[in-house]
Homo-oligomer: A and B are copies of this chain.
Amino acid sequence: MNKLSYGLLSLLSTEPMTGYDLTLKINLFWRSTHSAIYPLLSELEEEGIIELTLIKQNGKPDKKLYHLTKKGEELLYQWVTSETSDAVVRDEMTLKLYCLKCMNMDAADKLLGELETKYKRKVEKYRNAIDKLKSRSEEYSEDIPPSLFGAYILTQKALNEALLGQKWCEWVRDLYAKKDISFLTEDFN
């Protein structure tokens, strides 16, 4: 049981899903690919942690709709209540930003522009996702129903962070602009 396995169980705790669905959904919160997920699903099934229902389709391969077993639910509970390890973050952009000081203005401008574009796209993406969640809620004439609670709070978190990122970019631009002259002199020493 590695962390990705528990992630799959987490998603399956809301509703039965296929490997394909899981691949798409988990990527909102956890970087992975189908090549890592399909083999794990097979293992989890062999160990009786999840079960599958075959759904025949024409043209496409048969769907394997997975759901948690009792054993899977128990495992999930144990994991949720155990110690949580630190986040693994590997962001190439961060490493590049560290070098802002040794870049000329064009390069620095380009990099910050790239980052701002990324944040802008994220803001759109997460706003859309929240709108979608809210419209799904209205169908049941409630506010966010329990089954969507996790997705809702995490999407809101991601949106907060993207908005904060945008502000940070502006702050850095201002700082950088003030330092113009000292940077240039460093460049030629």
Contact = CB atoms under 8 A, between A and B. Distances in A.
Given A13-B102, A160-B164, A95 B3 contact: yes
B80 A111 contact: yes
A183 B146 contact: yes
Interface stretch (A58-66, A82-90, A124-132): A82-90
Interface stretch (A16-24, A40-48, A49-57, A149-157): A149-157
A172 interface: yes
Interface residues of A, number: 61
A88 B91 contact: yes
A120 interface: no
A36 to B, nearest CB: 12
A10 B94 CA distance: 10
Given A81-B107, A114-B84, A153-B175, A98 B10 contact: yes
Interface string A162-182: 001100100110010001001
Main secondary structure of the interface of A (DSSP, over half): helix
B179 A30 contact: no
A98 B3 contact: no
A178 to B, nearest CB: 8
A114 B171 CA distance: 31
B101 A147 contact: yes
Indicate the member of A84, A114, A147, A161 with the most B CB atoms within 10 Å.
A84
B84 A99 contact: no
Contacts of A101: 14, 146-147, 149-150
